[in-house]
Structures are given as structure tokens and as C-alpha cells.
Amino acid sequence: MDALVLARLQFAVTTSFHFLFVLLTLGLVTLVAITQTRAHRRGDPVLWRMTRFWGHLYVINYAVGIATGIVMEFQFGLNWSGLSAFAGDVFGAPLAVETLVAFFLESTFLGLWIFGWDRLSPRLHLALIWLVALTAYASALWIMSANAFLQHPVGYELSDGVLRLTDFGALLSNPTFGSALLHVLTAALLTGGVVMAGISAWHLLRGTAETEFFRRSMRQGVIAAAVSAPFVVGAGIAQFPIINELQPDKLGEDTGALGIPLALMMNIGVVLLITNLVLAHMRRRQPRWALWLAVLAIPWPFVAAISGWVFREVGRQPWLVYGLLRTEDAASQTDPTMMLLSFVAFTAMFAALAFLDWRLLAKVARRGPVSTPEFVPQEVRAW
């Protein structure tokens, strides 16, 4: 393989792994914030324990996923120097905001939330998890605005052979931005709900002693998935007219291999919509077949997300910046042997991180919630 093919494969692997972490992180942090809000209002010890348990899973996934995001940022400069030189002034602006504001603020608020139990006031501690959620959503916003620019360049002028940013607001009004952002955010909430419901259903199938804990957790996960699924499908459908207008080759008669990930994403989305509406309707009875349905649904949001990403990104080829910069012109002049070595090394590292994340999540999920009183705030213990 030549260096261009290897660079594309390496970036595809990097972003795929990173997107899987991000998807679960965005979904779980929203559910943890909702759970802690309910616990704060009701003073319910079960809800406090739910906050700690699902928050633990969220923190594990967030911590392991950071490494994949850092590597992805480095690749823009190392493997795609042509993109940085040609469009860095425009493409780099939202990425800089995401890194300097959203990412660092999110990490700071999360650190305060993790170490703030029994050290901060309940209201301040609750505010912190909502700030974590909001900055996580802000991070997604800036990333998607940068990606939307690659799909449909706006807010720029061509000067001396490079793009200059002339209208920052145009990045946020890009027609390829709004519905795509809603699609990603609701898909993340759907994923978090499916994972929460699936883990809870697994414990209920095993006859856990924490029946009330996992029944309530499953109910919350199913409701979150059932509410978000119609928005995921709707936001996806809303993008078709935009794609057909701006990138007609993606949805043309000769879509080739692109039709496979598109069909897979759409079919999984419809199946998850129907599944979670059925589970939401039966959330109080939860027969064994419904519990198995929830468990078996766990991997499918991730498969659908990667399929959608492949359709969105591969369908733009041969353009890296659509209509302005070809992918082959953006790649760095790198020795193919060195590119192959880095591709193998990074792929092995990402596989190890994914395995570590799965093992840690599975260990904590299998163990279940800790029932010792230190996992409940002092004011609730006294109550």
C-alpha cells in the first residue's frame, strides 16, 4: 500500500475507536446528570447509589477514551499537513475552541465532581455534573462544526492559495451542521440508554439481589432510548435533502459500497426505535424475553454509529475539503514504511485501549453497585 492509503486507514481506525468512546460518554453523562438531579430533589438513597454506579462507568469510559482523541488531533499535523497548510485558518478555529475551552473545562469540572462527594455542597456538586454534560455537548458542537466545513466549506475566502476565515458565524449556520449535530447527540443518548438498560437487564436475568436498583435503572435507560430514538431517525432523514443538494454523488444511483453502511445504519435505527418503544411500553412487567431483547441490543447503536460515519466521510471522497482540496493533495509526504509501522502501532494501541475499556466496564458492571454507606451523601444517610 502507498502512504496515502495507509494514512487514510490510520485516520479511519483512530476516529472510529474515538467515536465509540465519545458516543457512550455523551450518553452516560446525560443520564448520570438526570439521575443525580432526581436524587437531589427526592433524597432517595437508591437514586444516589445509581448516580455513583453509572457515574463510575462513565468516568472509566471517559478516562480511557482521552488517549484516542489526543492521537487523532496529532494526526492532522503529522499525516495531513496539506490540510493544515491550506485550510488550517478555518478548520483549526473550531478545533482550537473545542480543545482550549470545552475539553479543558470538561476535564476540570469532572475532576471537581469526582473528588467533590461529601466535600462540596449538594447543589454545587449537582451543578458540576451538569457543567460536565454541557461542556461535553459543547465539545461535540465544535467538532461537528469543523466536520461540517469539510463537507460544505463556508465562511472563508481564498487568499494567496490558502483559505482565510472571514465569517465565524457561518460555521454554525452551515446547512450540513445542525441536523448532523442533533443526529449525533441523540444517537449518544440512545446509546447510553441502551447500555444502561442492557446492563440492568443482564443483572435482572441473573436474579440479582439489587432488584429494585436495576429495575429502576432499566426503566430510566429504556425511557431515554425510547425518547431519543425518534429524534435519531428524524435527524438522519432530515439530512437527505441537504446531502442530495450539496453532495449528490452520495445518494446517486451508483452509490456502490456506500449503500451498505447507509442501509445498515438505517435498518438498525428503525429496529432500535421499535425495540425501545416496545420495552418502554412493558417497562413495569419486564418478562424474560424483554430482558434478553435489552441485553442483545447493547452493541447495535455502536455498529449503526460507525456505519453512519463511514457513509458521511467516505462518501465525500475524493475531496477532503469538498470541492476545494483533494485528499491526495492534503496528505503529508511520508515514507510508506514509516506510515505502515505507525499504522500497526496505533491500531495495536487502540485495540488494547478498547479491550481495557471493555474489561474495566465489564468488571464494574458485573460487580454491580456498592452498598456501603460512603457511596451516599451524609445528608441522605442522616435522613
Residue spans of the domains in the chain: they are 3-369
CA-based nearest residue to 142, from 185, 108, 205 = 185
Predicted confidence at residue 254, as pLDDT, reads 60
Q: 172: pLDDT confidence band, cut at 50, 70 and 90? A: very high
Inter-residue contact 125 to 116 (CB < 8 Å): yes
pLDDT per position as a tens digit, 13-55: 888 888 888 999 999 999 999 999 999 998 889 999 999 999 9
Give the integer Cα–Cα distance in Å for 232 and 178. Answer: 13
Query: Amino acid letter at 220?
Result: Q
Segment 121-129 shows an average pLDDT of 93
What is the pTM (predicted TM-score) of this model?
0.91
Predicted local confidence at residue 383, as pLDDT: 36
Q: How confident is the model at residue 102 (pLDDT cuts 50, 70, 90)?
A: confident
What is the pLDDT, as a whole number, of residue 379? Answer: 47
Residue 354 CA to residue 348 CA, distance in Å, equals 10
Helix pair angle (211-246, 3-42), 10° resolution: 140
Confidence of residue 160 (pLDDT cuts 50, 70, 90): confident
Residue % of the chain over a pLDDT of 70? 95
Mean pLDDT of the chain: 88
Residue 203 has pLDDT above 90, yes or no: yes
More confident call, 67 vs 42: 42
Sorted by sequence, the CB contacts under 8 Å of residue 311 that are 6+ apart come out as: 250, 258, 261, 262, 265
Residues in contact with 69: Cβ distance below 8 Å, sequence separation at least 6, in sequence order: 18, 21, 22, 103
Higher pLDDT, 285 or 253: 285
